[in-house]
């Protein structure tokens, strides 16, 4: 059986998927190939290290953050079907074409602290329907349930794309010989139970009581109330951690903590939490803030942050029940 290319796969889809949306997804995929080439060259291309300034989040940007962001902005703002775009790296949205049918939001390079040590990084994207002929800032304020497509590209030992257009989650693998993303896994299903969890344990002293209780129970293993041993995995790149869960189940948590009370969570609702939640729910998993379903949240600002508890359904539901 020959592997379908991304464009062949998109031609076979129905539902949310219009020819115009297919073209937007293909443009994102093509741009990620360019980002992949820059990453492959690494130090040889002079793209490693800090860009010597901060992004809108107050985080020091890496050169490749800036390069990846520029590639995506340049490709999408001239796309005939894109009305506007928003990046985690920029204060404001970028207007694109009048009467463009879609809005694209993205984290151009997730896990960029991994770049300089040659570990996995990724690009996350979310596509929403446009609201007006000329895009306004308010047009982006749509709940995650309104997404018509979401996905990520993982730049790892092999470059892979996870994609959903609302009819399940699938994986493509980039073939360097043909320069195409080829379908390699259909109908991904995340098991409801798991023995793996991912959390940044260095923040333990800042966690709320329900999260402390949950992690204490996992660490107690067979001798504790869960009566089984758990393994902890932490990639420091959301794309890497979510990819592992889509491959073999698990739970990923970046919960609310008191470290910085101004930030309700660390991860961005529009660029990270919503697209990953759509991928996870389409694969049979679950995604909440610990209190409410992430995709039901009505955004109030472009760079809104939320706590994230995502992955195997039974574990996510347990953590959420502890908060209630």
Instruction: Name the nearest CA neighbour of 102 among 84, 90, 88.
Output: 84
pLDDT digits (tens, 9 = 90+) for 220-241: 999 999 999 999 999 999 999 9
pLDDT at position 185 over 60: yes
H/E stretch holding 109 reads strand 102-110
89 is in an annotated binding site: no
107 is in an annotated binding site: yes
Instruction: Name the nearest CA neighbour of 138 among 92, 97, 98.
Output: 92
Instruction: Name the nearest CA neighbour of 274 among 73, 167, 140.
Output: 140
pLDDT at 260: 81
What are the backbone angles phi and psi of residue 185, rounded to the nearest 5°?
A: -145, 125
pLDDT at 258: 86
pLDDT at position 156 over 90: no
193 is in an annotated binding site: no
Whole-number Cα distances in Å, 45 to 48, 70, 248: 8, 16, 35
Tokens of 24: 């937007």
Tokens of 284: 């049979």
110 is in an annotated binding site: yes
Fold of 6-185: Fructose-1,6-Bisphosphatase; Chain A, domain 1 (3.30.540)
pLDDT at 54: 63
111 is in an annotated binding site: yes
pLDDT at position 57 over 90: no
Q: Domain segments of the chain: what residues?
A: 6-185, 196-323
pLDDT at position 134 over 80: yes
7 is in an annotated binding site: no
pLDDT at 46: 66
Percent of the chain surpassing pLDDT 90: 81
pLDDT at 60: 56
pLDDT at 64: 83
196-323 CATH: 3.40.190.80
pLDDT at position 51 over 70: no
Alpha carbons 143 and 182: distance in angstroms, whole number: 31
H/E stretch holding 75 reads helix 63-77
Query: Under a CB-based contact definition with an 8 Å cutoff, are residues 207 and 266 in contact?
Result: no
272 is in an annotated binding site: yes
Q: What is the pTM of this model?
A: 0.94
Report the chain's mean pLDDT, rounded to a whole number.
93
């Amino acid at each position: 059986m020959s592997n379908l290319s991304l464009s062949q796969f998109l031609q076979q889809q129905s539902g949310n998927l219009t020819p115009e949306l297919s073209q937007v997804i293909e443009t994102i995929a093509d741009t990620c190939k360019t980002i992949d080439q820059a990453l492959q060259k690494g130090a040889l291309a002079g793209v490693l290290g800090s860009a010597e300034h901060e992004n809108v989040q107050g985080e020091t940007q890496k050169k490749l953050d800036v390069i990846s962001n520029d590639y995506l902005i340049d490709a999408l703002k001239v796309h005939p079907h894109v009305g506007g775009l928003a990046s985690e790296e920029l204060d404001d949205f970028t207007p694109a074409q009048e009467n463009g049918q879609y809005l694209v939001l993205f984290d151009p390079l997730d896990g960029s602290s991994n770049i300089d040590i040659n570990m996995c990084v990724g690009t996350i994207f979310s596509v929403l329907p446009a609201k007006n002929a000329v895009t306004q800032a308010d047009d982006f304020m749509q709940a995650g349930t309104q997404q018509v497509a979401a996905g990520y590209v993982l730049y790892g030992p092999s470059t892979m794309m996870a994609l959903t257009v609302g009819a399940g989650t699938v994986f493509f693998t980039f073939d360097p010989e043909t320069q195409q993303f080829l379908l390699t896994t259909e109908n991904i299903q995340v098991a409801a139970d798991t023995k793996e969890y991912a959390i940044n344990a260095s923040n333990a002293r800042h966690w709320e009581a329900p999260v402390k209780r949950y992690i204490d129970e996992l660490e107690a293993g067979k001798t504790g109330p869960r009566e089984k041993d758990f393994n902890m995995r932490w990639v420091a790149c959301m794309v890497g951690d979510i990819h592992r869960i889509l491959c073999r189940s698990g739970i990923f948590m970046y919960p609310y903590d008191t470290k910085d009370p101004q930030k309700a969570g660390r991860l961005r609702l529009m660029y990270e939490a919503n697209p990953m939640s759509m991928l996870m729910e389409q694969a049979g998993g679950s995604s909440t803030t610990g209190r409410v379903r992430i995709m039901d949240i009505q955004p109030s600002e472009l760079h809104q942050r939320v706590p994230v508890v995502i992955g195997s359904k039974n574990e996510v539901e347990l953590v959420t029940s502890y908060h209630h």
